[in-house]
Amino acid sequence: MRSSQLFGKTLRQAPADAETISHKLLIRAGYIQQIAAGIFSLQPLGNRSITKIRNIIRDEMDRAGGQEINMPVVQPRSLWEESGRAETFVPPLATFKDKREREMIIAPTHEETATAMARAGVTSYRDLPFTIYQIQTKFRDETRPRGGLLRVREFEMKDAYSFDADEEGMDRSFQSMVDAYKRIFKRCGLEVIMVEADSGGIGGKDSNEFVLLTDSGEDTILMSNESDYAANLEKASFIKKAFPIGDLGQVEEFATPGIKTINELAKSEGVSKSKTAKAVFYSVDGEIVVVTIRGDYEVNETKLRNQLGGLEPKLATPEEVKAAGLVSGSASSVGLEGIKSIVDDSITLGSNYLAGANKEGFHLRNVNLNRDFKADILGDIAEAKKGYLSPDGKGKLVAKRGIEIGHVFKLGNVYSSKMGADYTDEDGEQNEILMGCYGIGVGRMLAAAIESNHDDFGMILPQAIAPYDVYLAGLNLNNDDIAGKAEQIYETLQDAGYDVLFDDRDVPPGVKFKDADLIGVPVRVVISSRSLENGGVEVKSRTSKDSEIISESDVLAIVQKVLG
């Protein structure tokens, strides 16, 4: 492609409403155009990058045995009523009515249609296993899109669905997708790690995220400094500190005037926070619940939600707390009737806690689970932090930031049972099909790549996802000799299969160099009167500071070498 004909101008200044680096660069380099909040068009450069990413994904999906399909963006709402997600999906489904007043939805994901496909197409165990995938548009009406392509409302996703007869099969399909994902990210030149994750609204038992570690990421990842344990903060577990459990003391009340927090309580008693039982109030589906956790830990609301069977906990407002007759600052589960109690298992790793007396200005000593208060639900709801012990017993946790660009789920029978997707096995019995689903955010992957790979001048894209492999800058092109040689190099590189952007514009050299850097093309070749005087053409990789002069006849060989 000749720059003189390329649609899309580079900007010297980024639009004022772009804040994130990738957003600024994508706009400045002319990759994308914003149409509305979280809705973008791809311009030629952006589309070329996305196409390259898409092709790599497709290639690896096919290699893993996936079969490409296509499912509709517009779907009847009734399909989503079958799975039960019509009401519960977050963000709420975007809907409209068609001409015949039927409620339609714009799909945010495709588990329902994929299950419908399998339900219709599978009758026997002989039809299993198989994996289907598509690369296609989703719409999620996120309340707050942000960061250019990082979080958008309409986006392209590669979503795959595997169908198996049994657990072992599902695990095999899952593993095969995980392997494909690893190859995809590697081929794209991105350092993506797999971490344990919460499965959220998609459902299922196990899920893993693929995360590109970068400081500008919006997710927190906790990983062991000694093993390969890594998990999203939402999911991360750790080994809780255990204390010897002695004889249970007598509960006694004592005055704690002015003491409102666990910190103050522990301090005034001269004990560690781990000797206290902290009570936190949540409002769940309109009902107040009390969460008790050892004072040295914090509640992880995602874990709490999972313990509550998926219901969303919200911190209770002071009014709600008061209305429930609770005394904030001196509250505990002790003696509370009719209020659901959720207890973190850290409480079982110690005894004789200090806790609120449910009486303004008083606390209790020697409070113990079961004897003094009950647990309707007992489990892990504690938030992991850096420095805590890795759950595998190897090393301590460290915290990093990352961007989630892929997520894989073992769905099991979540959808097949609700939607009646089953098959007949060897013994003639009906069984539910076991599913897995696997997503990659295509545009987000590009944004994430830029977030983790740029400098003051612009993007630094890995060759695999850069819109062009080579930026050929011809200077002094009004000189026929130079112009002729530039054309020759352009031809040679293209004949060798490289995507070349030939900057043939009549603009000053500085403009070409700035654009080459901004767009992030991995190799730059310059031909000019000066380069010819110095013995040929100049080749420079985007990442190196210096260029080297080579003879024109070596261009291809050197470009090959620089691109590796």
In the complex, the smallest distance separating the C-beta of residue 443 from RNA, rounded to whole angstroms, is 10
Q: What angle do CA 158, 51, 458 make, to 5 degrees?
A: 110
Alpha-helical (H) ranges within 192-334 are 262-269, 301-307, 318-323
> Which residue type sits at 295?
G
Place of tokens 């497709």: 58
Which residue number, 146 or 396, has a Cβ lying nearer to RNA?
146
Contact 192, 170 (CB under 8 A): no
Token reading at 219: 């997710």
In the complex, the smallest distance separating the C-beta of residue 80 from RNA, rounded to whole angstroms, is 13
Distance CA 461, CA 477 (A): 28
Q: How far out from the chain centre does Cα 338 lie?
A: 39
- Return phi, psi of residue 450, to 5°: -70, -40
In the complex, the smallest distance separating the C-beta of residue 564 from RNA, rounded to whole angstroms, is 21
In the complex, the smallest distance separating the C-beta of residue 481 from RNA, rounded to whole angstroms, is 14
- Residue of 437, 383, 385 lying closest to 411 (CA atoms): 437
Report the DSSP beta bridge partners of residue 267. Answer: none
- Residue of 38, 57, 257, 66 lying closest to 153 (CA atoms): 38
In the complex, the smallest distance separating the C-beta of residue 405 from RNA, rounded to whole angstroms, is 7
Which residue number, 230 or 440, has a Cβ lying nearer to RNA?
440
In the complex, the smallest distance separating the C-beta of residue 359 from RNA, rounded to whole angstroms, is 30
Which residue number, 365 or 514, has a Cβ lying nearer to RNA?
514
Which residue number, 51 or 476, has a Cβ lying nearer to RNA?
476
Which residue number, 28 or 400, has a Cβ lying nearer to RNA?
28
In the complex, the smallest distance separating the C-beta of residue 529 from RNA, rounded to whole angstroms, is 7
Which residue number, 281 or 423, has a Cβ lying nearer to RNA?
281
Between helix 442-451 and helix 21-28 the angle, nearest 10°, is: 100
Contact 439, 448 (CB under 8 A): no
Contact 551, 485 (CB under 8 A): no
Which residue number, 291 or 354, has a Cβ lying nearer to RNA?
291
